[in-house]
Structure formats: C-alpha cells, structure tokens
C-alpha cells in the first residue's frame, strides 16, 4: 500500500511533486492533526506547530516530520523522539542567503539606508549637506557573532573578508567549524562590551530565550548595532524597545519577532530600527533548495526503514 505524506499547504509544489514521483500519496492541507491522520510523514513549515497531540492525532505509523526550515523549534522534538519519529530540517542550503541578509541588515543600519529612503520619500531631501545622515564605516570595527554555526561563520567570513571587520564570537560549543573561521572565542559579556555590531545566529532553545535582554543591551556600546536573523524570542523585544527609545545602542535590525507576526508595542514607531518580515532565507535559490531537501529528507527516512 502506498504511504501517505501530509504536506502543509504553503510548502512549494515542487516538494509535493518530488514525493508523488517517488510513489507517495500526497495530502495537502492546513492541519496535520486533522488532515494528516494515517500519514507516515509530515512536511511542514516553521509556522506549523507540531506538538505531541498532533503526532498522536496523526497516528502511530508516523515516521518522520520534515521541517522546511533550519530551525526545528516549532516541533516538539522530545515528543517525536519518544514516539520513534525522526525530525528533519534543511540546514546548509540557506546558509549563504541568510548570511547575505544579516550583512544587508548591518549595512542598512550602518549606512542608514532605510532612514535615507524615508527621508527622500517624505520630501525632506532639500539638497546635499556634508553632515546629512552620517553613518559608520565597517572597516576595522569589531563584529560579534553570537552562535558560531554555519550561518554565523559565513556572516563573519563575508564581513571579515569583504568589509575588513575584526571578528569575535561567542558559542556554547567549540567545534572545528569555529576555528576554521579564524575568529576569537570570548564570553558573551566580553563580546557585548567589545563589539560595534552584534549579529545573532543561535537556535531557539530554552537557554537562548531572552539571551539578549536589559542587562545585555546595557553592556553594549552606545554606538553599536544589533542584528537578529535567528529567532525572535532570543531578543527580549520589550527591553529592546526601551533601550532604543533611550538611544542606549545605535540601532537594531530584526528579521524575526518574539510573537510573530505581531510586534512589541512601540517597536514600529522607532526610527533607529529596521524590520523585515522573516525573509532572511527568502531567496529563490534557498527556498527552492529547502523545499527539495525537505522532500528528500522524507524519502530518505521512509526508504531506509
């Protein structure tokens, strides 16, 4: 009998095609718990919450949950493990795209590009001035990477090689990949105190929730920038709003939010912040590769049972 794969509605069609070509019966829908009953696999998005209840509703034949994302924080991984269900994700294929976005956000902040855009649109541009919207050059400045995995490392490499920044990093782990990037590992406190730009690249874990809160923001330089392309709850948004209102840091750029898609009160009113709607991995290349890899991850698990 053909096995069923539940594919979440927003997943690109090419992923479903790949699974069909492989002989699986594909069911598309919005709720794995309701429409995925009897499925051997689930292909979901980071916006789909897959908890123990959902897994039980799908049934004991469930073998793999494949997330079209690098993060797996929307899935109860411990509950999956308990039920013998594999959890797969799509790292690597989005590294370059996310790193480019982090670099882009830093440039937007340091060269005040979004502010400049608004300035022109609002008709405030009345002519060239030597001190109009002065930003900061990146060359020679210190970049602090928090979470030195693939994306953190690549972001560091681009900013080090291309822009002449010095790199320091903080990570709870220390593996080969870290040393390969040639950056110095220091404590989070030291990193916050020394960096002119802090870029966050940690996964969402209970230990990384509000990793950057009031105390950490206070430790940062008044001239420093904060960039978050990891997960929203890594930053205490309320504390960030308060810090930016008091100009305790120079600016922040967020691609992710604590309660997506909602924003903390006051966040959107600030002019020292840049906001993008969780699009760090949104290049055609990365999303295409993520969709294919998410489907392949299912095939690999089901074929190797």
Report the interface residues with ligand GLV, using CB under 6 A.
Answer: 46, 69-71, 94, 281
Residues tagged active-site: 231, 260, 278
Report how far residue 156's alpha carbon sits from residue 171's, in angstroms, rounded to the nearest whole number: 13
Cβ nearer to ligand GLV, comparing 44 with 244: 44
Cβ nearer to ligand GLV, comparing 44 with 241: 44
The contacts of residue 36 (CB under 8 Å, 6+ apart) are 4, 6, 27, 29, 42, 54, 57, 58
The least CB distance from residue 171 to ligand GLV, in Å, is 18
Report how far residue 295's alpha carbon sits from residue 300's, in angstroms, rounded to the nearest whole number: 9
Report how far residue 31's alpha carbon sits from residue 7's, in angstroms, rounded to the nearest whole number: 9
The least CB distance from residue 281 to ligand GLV, in Å, is 5
Cβ nearer to ligand GLV, comparing 28 with 150: 150
Q: Any long-range contacts for 159-167 (C-beta under 8 Å, 24+ apart)?
A: 159/103, 159/106, 163/138, 163/139, 164/138, 164/139, 164/140, 165/138, 165/139, 165/140, 165/141, 165/197, 166/140, 166/141, 166/142, 167/142, 167/143
The least CB distance from residue 305 to ligand GLV, in Å, is 26
Cβ nearer to ligand GLV, comparing 102 with 299: 102
Q: Which residues of 53-67 are buried (b: 16+ CB within 10 A; e: fewer)?
A: ebbeebeeebbbbbb
Cβ-closest residue to ligand GLV? 69
> Is the CB of residue 177 less than 8 Å from the CB of residue 156?
no
The least CB distance from residue 254 to ligand GLV, in Å, is 13
Cβ nearer to ligand GLV, comparing 250 with 253: 253
The least CB distance from residue 51 to ligand GLV, in Å, is 18
């Amino acid at each position: 009998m053909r096995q069923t794969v539940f594919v979440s509605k927003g997943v690109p069609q090419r992923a479903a095609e790949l699974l069909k070509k492989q002989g699986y019966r594909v069911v598309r829908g919005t709720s794995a718990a309701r429409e995925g009953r009897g499925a051997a696999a689930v292909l979901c998005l980071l916006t789909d919450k897959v908890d123990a209840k959902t897994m039980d509703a799908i049934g004991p034949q469930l073998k793999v949950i494949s997330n079209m994302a690098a993060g797996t924080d929307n899935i109860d991984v411990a509950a999956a493990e308990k039920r013998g269900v594999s959890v797969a994700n799509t790292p690597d294929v989005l590294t370059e795209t996310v790193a480019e976005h982090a670099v882009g956000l830093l440039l937007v902040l340091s060269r005040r590009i979004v502010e400049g855009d608004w300035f022109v649109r609002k008709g405030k541009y009345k002519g060239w001035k030597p001190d109009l919207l002065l930003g900061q050059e990146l060359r020679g400045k210190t970049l602090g990477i928090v979470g030195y995995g693939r994306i953190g490392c690549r972001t560091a490499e681009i900013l080090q090689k291309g822009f002449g920044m010095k790199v320091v990093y903080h990570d709870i782990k220390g593996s080969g990949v870290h040393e390969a990037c040639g950056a110095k590992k220091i404590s989070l406190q030291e990193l916050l105190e020394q960096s002119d730009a802090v870029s966050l690249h940690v996964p969402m874990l209970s230990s990384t929730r509000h990793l950057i809160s009031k105390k950490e923001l206070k430790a940062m330089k008044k001239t420093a920038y904060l960039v978050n392309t990891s997960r929203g709850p890594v930053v205490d948004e309320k504390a960030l709003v308060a810090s930016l209102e008091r100009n305790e840091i120079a600016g922040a750029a967020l691609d992710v939010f604590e309660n997506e898609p909602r924003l903390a009160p006051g966040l959107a009113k600030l002019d020292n912040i840049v906001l993008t709607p969780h699009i760090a991995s949104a290049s055609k290349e990365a999303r295409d590769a993520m969709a294919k890899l998410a489907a392949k991850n299912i095939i690999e698990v089901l074929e190797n049972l």
